[in-house]
Amino acid sequence: MRSAGILMHITSLPSPCGIGTLGKAAYDFADFLHEAGQHYWQILPIGPTGFGNSPYQSVSTHAGNPYLIDLDLLVGEGLLTADELKEIDWLETPQVDYDFQYSVRFDLLHKAFLRGQDRFAEEIRTFRRENPWVDHYALYMAIKRARNMDSWEKWPREIRLRQPGAVETYATVYAEDMNFFIFQQFLFFRQWNALRSYLRQKNIELIGDLPIYVPYDSCDVWVNSDLFQLDENGTPTAVAGCPPDAFSVDGQLWGNPLYDWEKMQKDDFSWWRERIIAASKLFDVIRIDHFRGLESYWSVPYGETTARNGAWVKGPDHAFIDCLKRHFPDLRLIAEDLGFLTPEVIQLQKDSGFPGMKILEFAFDPYTPSSYLPHRYERNCICYTGTHDNETLHQWLRGCNDVTLAYIADYLGLPNTSEEALACGLICAGMRSVADTFIAQMQDYLALGAEARMNAPGIVGPENWAWRMEKNALTPELAQKLRNMTKRYERTAS
């Protein structure tokens, strides 16, 4: 079925209180998608953010981000008061201020916890029983908060290495704080499930993002250290990255601990299977980030300051894909097959049957014909204008030289190289391609430039992950324009 969707993370919604949440703005966006004839809403990872506020550096692969809990909904339930929200001078800025959010949100959530822990006691017990990961996460967060958010590698040895009796002792000491973090997750998933129900009513499916790696300072590595390439003290022996290329002479040093794939395979990748099960409860379709790392991954010795001295190491390859196919025959997954692709990676993606990704911003090299040109697509792929890591379409066009702009115009059959015409032409080219699904960033439909870029890879700064859509951006006229275009190219959902 031909379909279309929009990529925009929840934090970018124009919710009140300085950050997008699971409240009214999310429901309004669902209505917009429905009116615009879109079938998919694609978002970024929804876990609690860690280093650099990146959703790809979450402290838990299972937990939800407390920042996404809508405070107005809590007021409606009597867990907060309207006056308590009014007492705060919310920074309604074009960008999310994560430091500010950290300084005010948890005090409000704690007030909700004190009012709601007894009221929802039975429901919370059920939640804990159905989500055994939450106790590990709550203890991890409670200890971190007690130790000024230090990474677990700096904790006392007995709890850092989870020695016998240590977990039980610390859980007793931090029981009250654990209950607070569990309550946050209870609230998050309550609001999440309500929004999912509404999306289903609107015939909108969610595409969620599953990072291939987890950060070292995460509950996942602390609890499952034996599944990662760590020494006897819990220190990584090698970390993830990508090799030097035309964009970076040093490569990219991500620093995530690498999996012990051989050990994971011995129990048929049970940790990954649990992760897929959890993600399948949250999303209709899962995009697995850095798919090429399953065939082989760039391994950098721990302690290196760049990725230059890394090496390619064979990954789990077909054994991993076969495991997923065997246990999850109905799994709908998108393979993020971008980056340095070898014949082996391309073959793995084809053999998996999972659709790959085609990026229009990568297509137009006037000197070397690209496989990303729309006429070269196969049906089993997802066409994007760009991803969260790319420039917005208008920003990208402004950076193209005259030769490239002329090439784009000639390819699209346009009489001139005006920015507006080229942007519209590129979107239409993606829409009319044979790709099963076409997805554009919301910024591209709003014709926004550099100010709206979601992330610039390799740069840590407050501008990343911070873009917010203006409150009145989603007009009926824009919805009708998108519906007409989507219908013209036979991608309309309803």
| Consecutive H or E run containing 127 | helix 121-130
Per-residue 3-state assignment (H helix, E strand, C coil) for 286-304: EEECCHHHHCEEEEEECCC
Decide: helix, strand or coil at residue 118: coil
Task: Please report how the helices 175-201 and 133-146 are oriented relative to each other, as an axis angle in degrees rounded to 10.
Answer: 130
- CB-based contact 352:378 (threshold 8 Å): no
Tell me how long the chain is: 494
Residues forming the active site:
289, 336, 389
Decide: helix, strand or coil at residue 7: strand
d(CA 214, CA 221): 8
d(CA 174, CA 184): 16
Q: Give residue 398's Cα distance to chain centre.
A: 27
d(CA 143, CA 134): 14
Distances (CA, A) of 485 to 3, 476, 479: 12, 14, 10
d(CA 126, CA 325): 31
The per-residue DSSP string of 174-196 comes to: THHHHHHHHHHHHHHHHHHHHHH
- CB-based contact 86:104 (threshold 8 Å): no
Give bridge partners of residue 217 from the DSSP assignment: none
The tokens for 183 are 């309550």
- CA dihedral 41→42→44→48, nearest 10 degrees, is 30
Q: Regarding beta strands 381-384 and 356-359, do their DSSP bridges make them parallel or antiparallel, or are they unpaired?
A: parallel
d(CA 126, CA 143): 24
Decide: helix, strand or coil at residue 334: strand
- CB-based contact 463:451 (threshold 8 Å): no
Q: What are phi and psi of 239, to 5 degrees?
A: -135, 170
- CB-based contact 174:214 (threshold 8 Å): no
